[in-house]
Amino acid sequence: MLIGNVLIGNTMIDEENVLQLLKDIKKKKELQNLSEDFIREQLSQFLQQDRKAATFLADTYSRRSVRYKSIIKQLRARLRKWYGLYRRSEDSQRLHELVEMLVERKGGRKVIDQALIRTILATNSSTRERLPCYEELYEQLFKITGRPRSIIDLGCGINPFSIPLLPAPWPGQKLTYQAFDLNEDEIALLQEFFEHLHSLDRNFKGSAKVLDALHFAALLDLKKVDICFLFKMTDVLDRGKGHTATEAVIHSVPARWVVVSFPTKTMSGKRMTAPKRNWMDWLCRRRGYQYTLLEFKNELFYVVKK
């Protein structure tokens, strides 16, 4: 989609100016790897809500003006707030180095280095928190769902690096894994990792792609799978406006099981007094879905059967 060719209200904006705006937004390190299509879409929504900003970008457009800087600031805040894109650049750098180490070792080794996998998972707070319980989580989960042969991981972050922690019979049994996120850099690293896994075990096939989980129609087009992971995604999907987006994702994704997880601690690290989400219970009842709850120290998993 070219925003320069899109009518916003009655306003057309020069594509070159839009490109410059996107470049300026991406100057912040934590936003550098965010999909450009996605930023364009957010810009489009923002300008439909703020007509003055749209007119300014169409008519006046001065990069040195206070208004331009304010637009950049508001857009960055919006992207950071709703899309959970707090990535420290040093973590991202470290992740690159670690994945390179892992992939370069392929010549001599036929098995994956589990210690290195754990170090990789420790570079991100969600996956770091799961480190003490990943194996148990997958064991308990698959006791409920059966052993999946195909998995979709939506808004995956770096969770797919936990594939080598899956319980037996993996490696050695067929597994197709599709990972989706908005972070282009991490998606590229995951694709490299998947190719490495495939070279070690031909039973494994993985693909990592940039995809906006809010594009429900695109979800409907995905290949049918056994399980979809929707780990710690509901806040970024719902953005404080009810839970219709989460519901649409659960409904649209072509998976027999959808595993929806929630943190049990607040942002400041305090334990929530009522970590269960009643709305998940209501949603499942309304839709006629069965679910089982799995509780771990830092995370609660609703294992939903559609």
Q: What is the CA radius of gyration of the chain?
A: 21
DSSP class of residue 186 equals H
CA 257, CA 74: separation in Å to the nearest integer? 38
CA 146, CA 240: separation in Å to the nearest integer? 34
Find all residues with CB under 8 Å of 100, minimum gap 6, and list them. Answer: none
CB of 219 to ligand SAM, least distance (A): 10
Which CB, 51 or 81, lies closer to ligand SAM? Answer: 81
- Residue of 25, 99, 137, 156 interacting with ligand SAM (CB under 6 A): 156
Stated length of the chain: 306
CB of 276 to ligand SAM, least distance (A): 18
- Residue of 182, 190, 227, 303 interacting with ligand SAM (CB under 6 A): 182
> Are 228 and 151 spatial neighbours (Cβ–Cβ below 8 Å)?
yes
CB of 239 to ligand SAM, least distance (A): 9
Which CB, 167 or 263, lies closer to ligand SAM? Answer: 263
- Residue of 54, 225, 233, 255 interacting with ligand SAM (CB under 6 A): 233
Taking 3-state DSSP, the helix, strand and coil percentages for the chain, each rounded to the nearest 5, stand at 50, 20, 30
Show contacts with ligand SAM in window 120-139 (CB under 6 A). 126-127
Residue range at the interface with ligand SAM (CB under 6 A); choices 18-26, 61-69, 107-115, 156-164? 156-164
Which CB, 42 or 176, lies closer to ligand SAM? Answer: 42
Based on the shown chain and the rule CB under 6 A, indicate whether residue 190 belongs to the binding site for ligand SAM.
no
**DSSP characters over 43-65:** HHHHHHH-HHHHHIIIII--TTS
Residue, CB closest to ligand SAM: 157
Based on the shown chain and the rule CB under 6 A, indicate whether residue 236 belongs to the binding site for ligand SAM.
yes
Would you give the binding string for ligand SAM spanning residues 84-103, x where CB under 6 A is met?
xx------------------
End-to-end CA distance of the chain: 34
CB of 172 to ligand SAM, least distance (A): 25
> Are 31 and 24 spatial neighbours (Cβ–Cβ below 8 Å)?
no
CB of 58 to ligand SAM, least distance (A): 27
Q: Backbone dihedral region of 223: left (phi > 0), alpha (psi from -120 to 50 degrees) or beta?
A: beta
Find tokens 């559609």 and name the residue.
306
Based on the shown chain and the rule CB under 6 A, indicate whether residue 157 belongs to the binding site for ligand SAM.
yes
CA 143 to chain centre: 25
Find all residues with CB under 8 Å of 256, minimum gap 6, and list them. Answer: 145, 225, 226, 227, 305, 306
CA 55 to chain centre: 33
Find tokens 């770091």 and name the residue.
128
Question: Identity (one letter) of the amino acid at 182?
Answer: L
Which CB, 141 or 156, lies closer to ligand SAM? Answer: 156
- Residue of 183, 187, 228, 303 interacting with ligand SAM (CB under 6 A): 183
Number of residues that bind ligand SAM (CB under 6 A): 20
CB of 215 to ligand SAM, least distance (A): 8
Show contacts with ligand SAM in window 201-230 (CB under 6 A). 212-214
Residues that bind ligand SAM (CB under 6 A): 83-85, 126-127, 155-157, 159, 180-183, 212-214, 231-233, 236
